[in-house]
Chain A
């Protein structure tokens, strides 16, 4: 088997052997969808907009699933590997430690896609939440959300020295990012000022773009630009600052 295939398989096994990661990354987002959907008022349409709260929560939980892994799992893993000299050890083999990063990203993307599929299917089957109507648009803004979270995660991995610091930084960023994504208060319910701030956060923009495309519309240019800007700034900083040692 090739090095990349073996690395990817190994990283996937290690993910599955970590109960906390399995719970928060894979189990928790669908579980939360079921819990929220079990609240009767969340299934009632808003008399003004006709939108149900549970409809709003599907894209929020999709964003949360991405953020869980990108902000805590990935930086923690990479910083830990660097701290323990694993990336350095790989540098003495014919395979570059960049391959380890690639393997992690593959595991991440596959997991995120899987959890997203589960969330969409569960929403449809359990609560009759419509599947995304504008699929190419949805796929595009999903990709942008994914890459913006990855860039931030890699930025964390680049600036911290230890796995502990990576976990702490991931947590500190996770809450404001998810707050503005609407996890505690969906964007539709936010006061105007809060929503305007949310427009400029990576997942605030991401969730709104996901919501717009899911409803069959086109995403706002502002949200696309905001995500691209986050990707450019954190991605370039991560690439500049990351070291294998």
Chain B
């Protein structure tokens, strides 16, 4: 049974259409990704789920309830982490958690939460003195302190260094393992690929694809690409004669062979028969980035159109 259902969501700000007919459902216990470039409408979509915005059209239901009219119930079920949300500079970590815990009827134990997020030693540290990664941990803690069934995490790892980002990914998986359904908004392909069970690819306010990361990639392209340097010259015609091979390109002494899913086996078998060694062999698979490019005609990184 889906825990969140979004049907035909529309939202515009003045002349700008932010969300244009978005529909999807989030299943219990999964990590559901909302992936797209900046300004694609991701944040507006989750803000409608959190009850922060009123959709112009369409319906949003959270456990069968309306986030606007059943505000009290829905805010208890959803723990939110907002993009660029700060705390007072001099508020200490422990105080922030106790404060947010007091907002909920059945809160988690603040100390346990801090320990499980690895910031127990920061209990008495003021917000201002936390590093970027520690602030994100705190914001996760605040999102979880009400014992929510769903955590909505918006651009959680933006601005973090690679190590802190990886640590945060581990944390998100731990949270999911506790049985919390996670909605993850991101514009990092790598993050979506690594964490999400399913994801909605959003571009210019529309869902362009909805599938698992592997499914998305497979849907776009089943092509594989092999790069290698043969130990002896090889006739490209011989390679092209293989049914699995589609193209062969020579760049200097390097060969790039593309083909279907079995192309690697076919090519290496041929090379073995001819006693040719393939050095610097690399297999390149289609990524989510390629999938996004194929679906929208633009890359994730180049599709930047300003803020949300």
Contact B80 A81 (CB under 8 A): no
Contact B75 A84 (CB under 8 A): no
**What are 15 A-B contacts defined by CB distance under 8 Å?**
A6-B102, A10-B95, A10-B99, A14-B88, A81-B88, A84-B86, A86-B87, A86-B88, A88-B52, A88-B85, A90-B103, A92-B52, A93-B103, A93-B146, A94-B71
Tell me the dominant secondary structure on chain B's binding face: loop
Chain B residues whose C-beta falls within 8 Å of the C-beta of A17 in the assembled complex: 90
Chain A residues whose C-beta falls within 8 Å of the C-beta of B103 in the assembled complex: 3, 90, 93-95
Contact A94 B72 (CB under 8 A): yes
Chain A residues whose C-beta falls within 8 Å of the C-beta of B27 in the assembled complex: none
Which residue of chain A has its CB nearest to the CB of B67? A92
Contact B80 A92 (CB under 8 A): yes
10 more A-B residue pairs beyond the given contacts A14-B90, A88-B85, A94-B103, with a C-beta to C-beta distance below 8 A: A6-B99, A10-B91, A10-B99, A80-B88, A84-B85, A85-B85, A86-B86, A89-B82, A92-B51, A94-B76
Which residue of chain B has its CB nearest to the CB of A91? B52
Which residue of chain B has its CB nearest to the CB of A90? B103
Sorted nearest first, the 8 A-B pairs with minimum C-beta distance are A84-B86, A6-B102, A92-B80, A85-B85, A95-B103, A93-B103, A17-B90, A94-B75
Q: Is B50 an interface residue (CB 8 A)?
A: yes
Chain B residues whose C-beta falls within 8 Å of the C-beta of A10 in the assembled complex: 91, 95, 99
Q: Is B84 an interface residue (CB 8 A)?
A: yes
Q: Is A105 an interface residue (CB 8 A)?
A: no
Q: Is A49 an interface residue (CB 8 A)?
A: no
Which residue of chain A has its CB nearest to the CB of B50? A92
Q: Is A7 an interface residue (CB 8 A)?
A: yes
The A-B contact count (CB < 8 A) is 64
Which residue of chain A has its CB nearest to the CB of B53? A245
Instruction: Name the contact of B84 in the complex, choosing from A5, A13, A14, A85 (C-beta under 8 A).
Output: A85
A10-B95, A84-B85, A85-B82 given; A93·B72 CB < 8 A = no
Chain A residues whose C-beta falls within 8 Å of the C-beta of B146 in the assembled complex: 93-94
| Closest Cβ–Cβ distance, residue A133 to chain B (whole Å) | 42
Chain B residues whose C-beta falls within 8 Å of the C-beta of A193 in the assembled complex: none
Contact A84 B90 (CB under 8 A): no
Contact with B along A92-111 (1 / 0, CB 8 A): 11110000000000000000
Report which residue of B71, B90, B99, B104 has the largest number of chain A beta carbons within 10 angstroms of its beta carbon. Answer: B99
Q: A interface, how many residues as a size bin? A: 20 to 34
| Closest Cβ–Cβ distance, residue A157 to chain B (whole Å) | 16
Q: Is A18 an interface residue (CB 8 A)?
A: yes
Which residue of chain A has its CB nearest to the CB of B105? A94
Contact B85 A89 (CB under 8 A): yes
Q: Is B24 an interface residue (CB 8 A)?
A: no
Q: Is B78 an interface residue (CB 8 A)?
A: yes
| Closest Cβ–Cβ distance, residue A13 to chain B (whole Å) | 7
Q: Is A1 an interface residue (CB 8 A)?
A: yes
Contact B99 A92 (CB under 8 A): no
